[in-house]
Structure 1
Amino acid sequence: MMRTLYSLAVLVSTTILSACGGSSDNDNTTTDLWQVSTDKSSTASLTQTNAPTLTQYMKFGLYAQTTSVGEENPTPTQPADSGTNLITPGVDEADRVKFSDRILYVSGKDADTGNPYLKRWFREADSGLTAMAALPLADPLKRIKGLYVDEGQLTVLGDDQQDYIGLLTTPAESVNSRTVVQLFEQGNAVYQLELDGALLDSRRTDDALWLVSRYRPHAAGLLGYAATEADKRHNMAVLQAASLTELLPKRRVNNAEAEPMFSADQCYLPADIQNNEGSSNMVVITRLSTSAPYQTQSACVVGEITDFYMSAQHLYLHSLVLEQTGAQTVVHKFSLEDSAAGYQATGAVDGQIAASQTDFMLHEKDQTLLLFNSVSGEEGPMHRLWVLQQEGDTLNTVAQLPNQQYPNEVIGKPGEAIYGVRFTGDRAYVVTFERTDPLYTFDISNTLQPRVIGALEIPGYSAYLHSVTDDLLWGLGQNITFDEQGEPVWNSASAKIALFDVSADDAVLQDDLLFSGQYSPLEYQHHSLAALHQSGTTRMAVPLSRFDDELGEMVSLLLLEVADNGVMQKVGELIPEYNQRANSWEARTVLIEDDIYFVLGDTVYHSVWQQPDQIAAQY
């Protein structure tokens, strides 16, 4: 099995950690320095570890790190609202704006002080908003990274880092950020949790909040870069003296004493590690029960992880391994059915996951995992659809496209990159682009025998795809023009919205809209979209951005209607007053009945669907 390792200029010793106490008086050579290597990533299955193995693995990883040159890191009584636009239905995601129980929550950072804010308004019977008392944020909370809200329970996620660009530090000198979770019940602060490590992202199911964080262990006194033999001996001594408890991340509940988040037997290492290898990279999966948040369960993987995908039943960590033969995507599968994330299986396929919104490139269906990725070739990236299925502790490849039986069912033309992906029901859709926008339709009704059943070429591309109904697919991207040499002229791009009829195998362009000189953050941030289906029509709100030579970014809100019969029309555009501190990336919208609440910066603009260009109130 191929590994990706890089060896370090550390001189020879096969002495294990417990035996490295130092050298004799007449042994002044460097032969007793640790010879270790850092396992950057592995395609092997994971194995449950124990305290001695975990301790050695992390200590060797820290030692190797310091001797390297450096490293490249709705209630039934309330009307329906648009809610947060989700990747997987039923799996909630944190966002800066939430609405529940007639309360609108808006979080962000004060532009003057850099301090976080959390504002809330009560929606009155006349649809107006009344400001409510501020909620006291925990002292360690310096930056809010997202909110969850359900039935009067508000969860605030953040960390202890300011939104400023810090000075570069050496690996051992860098201080782990601390994830902060604060829980409010009916407006009262009832719970505060601090976890060592930087929050990668989170998800929420009916019974639990799931946090995925990165952590790098540290030992007091460890030198950041050990260039000399004396420095290396110093670091060896520091690490020999360090206990496992010192290296593990801690949790603090309601400002109580810190305690380890987990024990060694809740950690997993690659099953093929060698005795002289180590890693100082750790990813931690933590479960918080929504009914009893004091009960946290964590599991850890020591190694490189890029990102994760979560369905309602499983969580998949994935990483990139660079082999001599090319890149590989490695996936680790965890079950969510128990009180803690339980490791199940690992698989690897050729290629790497790359697109504008990679979260949409993995999908669980019928006990299989489907994923799109790209393999480098002489003529540019070659794209693949892989289907993985668990057998024992291995995720085996049980299907792929193209394949020997269907070699011509290729995804994209030479040189085209993947821009948009959407799985929905028994179909998957992929957009690739270099000069035109091929929209590929896949039949995944039988995941063991996927097929390409249609391809439509139109100008431009769609970077975000949204299923309106089973028969209608909506896309947002850009329309691109080309110069005489056939090269794209990107500064002439226009925001493009396309509606496709996908009732048959071959998609048909139903309608499209162009917005000259404008762009939408929805290309990269799916939370930008608000969509609400009612009475046979889907109402959609999309932020648009254009740049003014004098003022900079100008942000507006486009309102659209898509009828179930395939008719799309522009309703209007909400154009707020210019705010130099607002940006389109953080723009959010909540749709409730005929009301539009457009959040730009820390200001809420209220309008109504029938006259969106007339701002009724500003809060």
Structure 2
Amino acid sequence: MQQQHNLNKTKQLFGMSILSLSVLSACSGGSDSGSVPEIELVTSPPEIVLKQNSGSPLQSSGANSVSLFVKNGIYLNNQQQFFTFLENDAVSTPASSSSRGFSQTNTQETGVDEADRVEYNGEYVFAADVPIWYPEEEYAPKVRILQRLGDDSLNQVADLDVASSYNVGGLYLADDKLAVITQSAPSYPIEIFRTSVFFPGFGGNNEATVDVDIYGLADPAEPSNEAEISIEGSLINSRRIGNTLFLITQYMPIVEGLVVGAQTDEELVSNYNTLLQLDDEALIPTITVNDNEFSLFSFDDCVIPADTNSDEGNAQLLTVIKIDLDKPEDFDATCLSAVADNIYMSPENLYLTSGYFESTNIHKVNLSSLSYKASGVVDGILGGRGAPNLRLSEHDDHLRVLTTDYSDFSDPEHQLYILNESSDSLEVVGQLPNDAQPEPIGKEGEDVFAVRYFGDQAYVVTFEQIDPLYVLDLSDHTAPEVAGSLEIPGFSSYLHPIGENLVLGIGQEVNQGNLPRNGEDVLILPTTSGMKASLFDVSDPSSPIVRAEQVWENSYTPVEFDYRALSVLQEGDTYKFAMPVETWIHDDRFFSRSEYSLVGLQVDVNAMTMEQAVRLTVEQDENELYIYGGEDRSIIHGDNIYYLRGNSFWHGTWSIDSKVTGPY
């Protein structure tokens, strides 16, 4: 695998006969033979079959085989004018901010950072503006830098302009480096677009890019632009470990000069022969670092399905890119012929998943070597409510996955799988339900609303009429079991482990009057009545109990859908949590307006208590346009709290009678 690619590398052509499997086999040895085979053009339209993504193993088949596979996929795509459907860290524990004295982005795994719109280093705040579209005004995305002053107020010291016409995709702060990720085209994380002839350029071009600007912060008030990176393709997701940035992108080559929607024999033959004579580099996405353009990888770096035949193909390329923030020109990249609509990353491995209807495909990539390791498939998909990546967790070299089978929408079935790498396959070594534990996860008709892993345990919330919290014992990889359960009204959409014995659940209360009584059927579906926080005691996994709960009527929090909206600060045995809240206020005319606030909860681990410690309310002018609260964030620094509402900061203190100052 190359660490620095040169566009002037030797270009090679390859020959093939679409009807001869032996030619493909002969080419599988790679592209270093030193000779350029003659190109055997076709005289009749070849019959190409789409090789759809699956959970079967992938393999490195050499540049010629990969090139043929991709060209076959392009040829197939250009016959279609419609979207193609597919048939198909150590201990998982929340990061703690106790050593720094201030909160950071709430992440799934300790040591694996996730992009967000706000970063903070204790003195400077870096905040990406979200688009607010006002009539007759253009939105100009930017990143604001604000300094925390001696009186705890904020003062803006710099602006970073964003070249993209779309909003900032996320920020990463690593020591004295700030990485700003943007996209030149919107990303639609659903497979229908990824397998379309119009993807990724939306309109038949290859203009979609993922852009990363790296700034030096020796003086945050005057950041220096150290690197401008542009990658062809669209962003699926990203992560950061230390000073290394990982980008997962998707790319589908669009070749000029082909007849789109070709139907006649003449058009089909012309298209295929054009592809046969095309240099491989024309099919490979580029990366530009400070005006120096490189091929992102070579086809020798790619893996395709191991059982591929010469008459099969797929133009979809999934790329994992590894960038050193200190030396961005020393990038590394690998590619897979696969589709991903979700990622999960532990400190050691990346898992790429895609689910469609009844199964989920999983591909494993090692982060240290950036090499493909194994693939597998499990029944069900990562559907339901909440973040799908929270349904996966790696522990003791095993991957745990909770999926749902929606074949019967009225009665979904949930399964937990434990997989282990064996050769190039991810093999199921344990699952639940099983012979010893045949009872389903969740009652009839219930869907999964939240999943969280913590060491050898998993917590699962299912809901239809009432909230069962399940505690799963995963200590025996081959025989997982339900250790205990608890039923309470309402449901949790997000679960946050606290220490070893407590779990915070954030979700919704339901109207008690709609719940069934004495075994009667429900006549009216339960309706939510307000945001709810519950403190669960799981010290006895066989008998979890509720230690405390609070409800805020007619309210919801973005944390229910995006866990990055929750701020967490641990101070010894005390945990501080802050979450933005949107409340609907109704007047006599049945008109509702939104009230925005930041709620702070304090949890005492030893006493197992939870109380509301602060609520900062921001009044919104009645004539102001509605601004979605889903991107609101906060920062806790000691006894100070900063609330980012829309694109403005407000300040308060960690006290029930806190005054609100701002905006900044």
Q: TM-score, normalised by structure 2?
A: 0.83
Structure 1 position 556 matched with structure 2 position 597? yes
Contact map agreement 1:153 1:183 (CA 8 A) in 2? yes
Contact 1:114 1:163 in 2 (8 A): no
Distance 1:170 1:520 in 2: 38
Q: What amino acid is the match of 2:107?
A: L
Q: Distance in 2 between matches of 1:92 and 1:249?
A: 26
Tell me, yes or no, if the aligned pair for 2:55 and 2:363 is still in contact at 8 Å.
no
Q: Is the 8 A contact 1:598 1:606 kept in 2?
A: yes
Query: Equivalents in 1 of 2:504, 2:515: separation in Å?
Result: 28
Among 145, 151, 158, the alignment partner of 2:169 is 145
Deviation at 1:315, TM superposition (A): 0.7
Choose from 82, 106, 112 the match for 2:103.
82
Q: Note closer, same or farther for the CA distance 1:193–1:452 as it changes in structure 2 (3 Å cut).
A: same
CA contact (8 A) 2:49 2:311 kept: yes
Aligned counterpart for 1:44 among listed residues 56, 62, 84: 56
Question: Aligned partners of 1:385 and 1:491: how far apart in 2?
Answer: 29
Confirm whether residue 605 of structure 1 aligns to residue 653 of structure 2: no
Assess, with a 3 A threshold, how the Cα gap between structure 1 residues 454 and 616 changes in structure 2: closer, same or farther. Answer: same
Shift of 1:184: 0.5
Aligned counterparts, 1:227-242, within 5 A:
227-242=263-278
1:108 equivalent in structure 2? 129
What does residue range 61-100 of structure 1 map to in structure 2 within 5 Å? 61-68=73-80, 70-71=82-83, 79-100=100-121
Aligned equivalents of 1:297 and 1:391: distance in 2?
A: 26
Q: Which amino acid aligns with 2:182?
A: G
Aligned to 1:524: 561
Residue 432 of structure 1 aligns to a residue whose secondary structure is: strand
Distance of 2:350 and 2:584 partners within structure 1: 40
Give the deviation of 1:125 after TM superposition: 2.5
Cα distance in 1, alignment partners of residues 469 and 335 from structure 2: 39
Partner residue in 1 for 2:3 = none
Letter in structure 2 aligned against 1:366? D
Aligned partners of 1:553 and 1:66: how far apart in 2? 49
Q: Residues 94-243 of structure 1 correspond to what in structure 2 (within 5 A)?
A: 94-111=115-132, 112-137=137-162, 139=163, 142-161=166-185, 171=198, 173-176=203-206, 177-186=208-217, 187-243=223-279
Relative to structure 1, the CA distance from residue 238 to residue 77 in structure 2 (aligned partners, 3 Å threshold; closer, same or farther) is same
Tell me how far 1:555 sits from its aligned partner. Answer: 2.4
| 1:317 paired residue among 349, 352, 369 | 352
Aligned to 2:663: 618
- Matched residue of 2:246: which SS? strand
Q: Secondary structure of the equivalent of 1:354?
A: coil
The partner residue of 1:590 within 617, 622, 635 is: 635
Q: Report whether the alignment pairs 1:353 with 2:358.
A: no
Shift of 1:467: 0.9
For 1:105, the aligned partner's letter is F
**C-alpha spacing 1:289/1:117, structure 2 compared with 1 (3 Å):** same
The list of structure 1 runs, each at least 4 consecutive aligned residues, that deviate by more than 6 angstroms after superposition, is 15-20
CA contact (8 A) 1:109 1:115 kept: no
Mapping of residues 397-412 of structure 1, within 5 Å: 397-408=428-439, 410-412=440-442
Q: 1:272 aligns with which of 286, 301, 307?
A: 307
Cα pair 1:581 1:601 within 8 Å, conserved: no
Partner letter of residue 201 of structure 1?
Answer: N
Name the SS for the 1:60 alignment partner.
helix
Q: Do the aligned partners of residues 618 and 163 (structure 1) sit closer, same or farther apart at CA in structure 2, a change above 3 Å counting?
A: farther
Determine whether 1:544 maps to 2:581: yes
Fraction of identical pairs, as percent: 28
Choose from 9, 14, 20 the match for 2:19.
Answer: 14
- Does 1:455 pair with 2:485? yes
The CA deviation at 1:426 is: 2.4
- What amino acid is the match of 1:221? G
RMSD of the TM alignment (CA)? Answer: 2.7
3-state SS of the aligned residue for 2:160?
A: coil
Q: 2:326 aligns with which of 291, 299, 306?
A: 291
Q: Which stretch of the first structure deviates more once superposed, 62-71 or 193-202?
A: 62-71
Of 449, 469, 489, the match for 1:419: 449
Mapped partners of 2:618, 2:421: distance in 1: 51
Work out whether residues 49 and 264 of structure 1, in 8 Å CA contact, stay in contact via their aligned partners in 2: no
Q: Aligned match of 2:612 in 565, 570, 580?
A: 570
Check conservation: 1:555, 1:583, Cα contact below 8 A.
no
Structure 2 equivalent of residue 343 of structure 1: 372
Structure 1 counterpart of 2:600, which letter? L
TM-score, structure 1 as length reference: 0.89
CA deviation after TM superposition for structure 1 residue 547, in Å:
3.9
Question: Residue by residue, what CA displacement relative to the aligned partner does 1:364-401 show, whole Å, maximum 9, x if unpaired?
Answer: 10111111012345562211111111122121111111
- The answer as to whether partners of 1:385 and 1:401 remain within 8 angstroms in 2 is yes
Gaps of 5+ in 2: 1-16, 25-37, 86-94, 218-222
Whether contact under 8 Å (2:229, 2:290) holds in the other structure is: yes
Letter in 1 for 2:652: S
Q: Which has the higher strand share?
A: 1
Can you list the C-alpha shifts for 1:397-418, whole angstroms capped at 9, x where unaligned? 111111112223x211121111
Aligned equivalents of 2:435, 2:49: Cα separation in 1: 39
Q: How much does 1:474 deviate?
A: 0.7
Kindly indicate whether residue 46 of structure 2 is the aligned counterpart of residue 34 of structure 1: yes
Figure out how many residues of one structure are paired with residues of the other and give that number: 587
> What amino acid does structure 2 have at the position aligned with 1:607?
G
> In the aligned structure 2, how far is the partner of 1:276 from the partner of 1:251?
30
- Give how far 1:611 is off: 4.5
SS of corresponding position for 1:246 = helix
